[in-house]
């Protein structure tokens, strides 16, 4: 975990959009993290509604501590295991008034001088009826068409790959980590100073792995069968595809990719061991045993579903 306060990280501008207080930080020049800005996202705490009876009794509200920070970290490490280009992510801690606020830190995916634009802006050029709010028009076919002629992320082994072949890897990652939030503002393009257009690294995985469900839900899933919970993971940001699961959407996109990409992503997923996944989860600090077991099982179940369904 990176403690920003005593190590000289400089707070910068706040990131617009979203429902959390995000801020960019610049590490000191002598830091091993120097070279790019990093976006800090605080761990979110949600107030849960009380029943009328408890309200009348004067009970204090129940608070749900979300796990966006550990979900971002596990998702990044999972991406590394299958060689999906993803924003480098660490756990972080900042001063917030008189309190210490935990969260995640994600490295800026933009090389110097490059400009990032959301996938929504590209889809709007191809379909005037595309609606980023409802996600109408956010389909595999539309994305494949829009990414035609675009290449993979800079500074990665995929620079010469068709962008869609890399994007398929993002959807494979989503299915593995149960990330239901891949809407058109949660993937992006990068434009170089000379106008070259590239797919950006994958980013913003804080909703993955049931991070917003809470420990009680994780415990119920363990009791009732994690596979049942995993099958409820729908590709809700691709509504035109029907009520398909994340795994079904990923496997459909895989068939639309080139044979090289199909072989690559399945080979990457197949070579990951359960032990490697457990090591990633067990390296997290301050995670309850229930949630730890839940996350490990989700990764095991979804990886098996992808491999068996291919």
The predicted-structure confidence for 219-274, as pLDDT tens digits, reads as follows 999 999 999 999 999 999 999 988 899 999 999 999 999 999 999 999 999 999 99
| Among 61, 41, 63, CA closest to 51 | 61
Q: Is the pLDDT of residue 97 over 80?
A: no
pLDDT reported for residue 45: 74
Sign of CA dihedral 256, 260, 263, 264: negative
Decide: 269 and 307 in contact? Cβ < 8 Å. Answer: yes
- Please give the full DSSP string across 30-99, using - where no structure is assigned: TSTTTTS-EEEEEPPEEEEPPPHHHHHTTPPPEEEE--HHHHHHHHHHHHHHTT--B--EEEEEEEETTE
Contacts of 227 (CB under 8 A, 6+ apart): 301
Backbone angles phi, psi at 178, to 5 degrees: 60, 50
Least reliable range by pLDDT among 5-14, 36-45, 85-94, 199-208:
5-14
Using a pLDDT cut of 70, give the percent of the chain over it.
94
Any idea of the CA torsion for 143, 140, 246, 199, to the nearest 10 degrees? Answer: -20
Decide: 29 and 9 in contact? Cβ < 8 Å. Answer: no
| Among 156, 161, 167, 140, CA closest to 260 | 161
The whole-number average pLDDT for the span 1-10 is: 86
pLDDT reported for residue 17: 61
* β partners of residue 93: 3, 102
Enclosing H/E stretch for 2: strand 2-3
* Region label for 233, one of left (φ > 0), alpha (ψ between -120 and 50) or beta (otherwise): beta
CA 35 – CA 287 distance, rounded (Å): 31
The predicted-structure confidence for 181-203, as pLDDT tens digits, reads as follows 999 999 999 999 999 999 999 99
Sign of CA dihedral 45, 50, 54, 58: positive
**For the purposes of burial, counting CB atoms within 10 Å of the CB of 219, is it exposed (0-12), middle (13-18) or buried (19 or more)?**
middle
Q: Is the pLDDT of residue 20 over 60?
A: no
Q: Is the pLDDT of residue 308 over 90?
A: yes
Q: Is the pLDDT of residue 46 over 80?
A: no
Whole-number Cα distances in Å, 261 to 48, 164, 198: 44, 9, 17
CA 84 – CA 88 distance, rounded (Å): 11
Angle between helices 163-177 and 259-270 (to 10 degrees): 30
pLDDT reported for residue 19: 47
Decide: 114 and 247 in contact? Cβ < 8 Å. Answer: no
Query: How many helices (H) and strands (E) in the chain?
Result: 11, 11
Give the residue, 228 or 20, on which the prediction is more confident: 228
> Rounded mean pLDDT of the chain?
92
CA 305 – CA 310 distance, rounded (Å): 9
Backbone angles phi, psi at 230, to 5 degrees: -65, -40
């Amino acid at each position: 975990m990176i403690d920003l306060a005593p190590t000289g990280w400089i707070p910068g501008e706040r990131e617009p959009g979203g429902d959390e207080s995000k801020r960019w930080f610049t590490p000191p020049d002598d830091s091993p993290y120097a070279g790019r800005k990093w976006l800090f996202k605080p761990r979110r705490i949600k107030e849960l509604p009380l029943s009328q009876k408890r309200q009348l009794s004067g009970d204090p509200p129940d608070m749900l501590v979300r796990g966006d920070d550990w979900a971002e970290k596990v998702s990044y490490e999972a991406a590394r295991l299958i060689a999906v280009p993803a924003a480098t992510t660490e756990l972080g801690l900042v001063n917030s008034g008189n309190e210490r606020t935990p969260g995640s830190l994600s490295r800026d995916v933009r090389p110097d001088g490059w400009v990032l634009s959301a996938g929504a802006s590209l889809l709007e050029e191809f379909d005037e009826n595309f609606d980023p709010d409802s996600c109408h028009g956010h389909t595999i076919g539309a994305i494949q068409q829009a990414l035609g002629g675009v290449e993979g992320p800079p500074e990665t082994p995929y620079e010469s790959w068709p962008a869609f072949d890399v994007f398929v890897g993002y959807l494979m990652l989503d299915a593995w980590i149960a990330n239901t939030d891949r809407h058109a503002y949660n993937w992006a393009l990068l434009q170089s100073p000379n106008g070259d257009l590239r797919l950006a690294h994958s980013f913003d995985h804080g909703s993955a792995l049931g991070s917003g469900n809470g420990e009680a839900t994780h415990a119920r899933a363990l009791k009732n069968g994690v596979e049942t919970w995993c099958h409820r993971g729908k590709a809700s940001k691709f509504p035109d595809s029907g009520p398909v699961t994340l795994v079904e959407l990923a496997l459909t996109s895989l068939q639309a990719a080139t044979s090289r990409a199909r072989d690559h992503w399945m080979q990457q997923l197949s070579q990951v061991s359960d032990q490697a996944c457990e090591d990633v989860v067990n390296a997290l600090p301050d995670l309850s045993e229930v949630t730890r077991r839940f996350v490990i099982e989700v990764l095991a179940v979804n990886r098996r579903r992808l491999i068996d369904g291919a």
